[in-house]
A = this chain, B = another copy of it.
Amino acid sequence: MSKPLISALAQFAAATAGRNMTKAAYVAVIVGVLSMVLLTDNRAREARGWVDALLWTCLAYFVFEWLVRLRHMARSGRLALYMSSSAGIVDAIGALAVPAALLLGVEPKTAWLLSVLWVLKVVPGIPGLRQLRRVLVLESGPLVSVLVIFLMVVFLASVAEYFLERDVQPQTFGSVPHALWWAVVTLTTTGYGDVVPVTPLGRVVAALVMISGLGVFGLWTGILATGFAAETRRDNFLKTWESVSKVPFFATLGPAAIADVTHMLRTIELPARTTIIRKGAQGDCMYFIAAGEVEVDLPGKKVQLGEGAFFGEMALLGNNKRGANVSTTKVSRLLVLDLVDFRVLMARHPDLAETIDAEAKRRALENK
Contact = CB atoms under 8 A, between A and B. Distances in A.
Contacts of A141: 127-128, 131
A344 interface: yes
A206 to B, nearest CB: 8
A31 interface: no
A156 B119 contact: yes
Nearest to A338: B234
Given A152-B122, A260-B347, A113 B220 contact: no
Contacts of A340: 233-234, 237-238, 241, 259, 262-263
Q: How many monomers of this protein are in the complex?
A: 4
A138 B228 CA distance: 14
A180 B37 contact: yes
Contacts of A152: 119-120, 122-123
Contacts of A260: 347
Interface string A77-118: 000000000000000000000000000000000100100110
Interface in A179-201: 180-181, 184-186, 188-194, 196, 200
A304 interface: no
Contacts of A175: 40-42
B159 A113 contact: yes
5 contacts: A117-B156, A119-B152, A214-B220, A217-B220, A229-B229
Interface of A: 33, 36-37, 39-42, 110, 113, 116-117, 119-120, 122-123, 126-129, 131-132, 135, 138, 141-142, 144-152, 155-156, 159, 162-163, 174-177, 180-181, 184-186, 188-194, 196, 200, 203, 206-207, 210-211, 213-229, 232-234, 237-238, 241, 254-260, 262-263, 266, 284, 338-340, 343-344, 346-348, 353
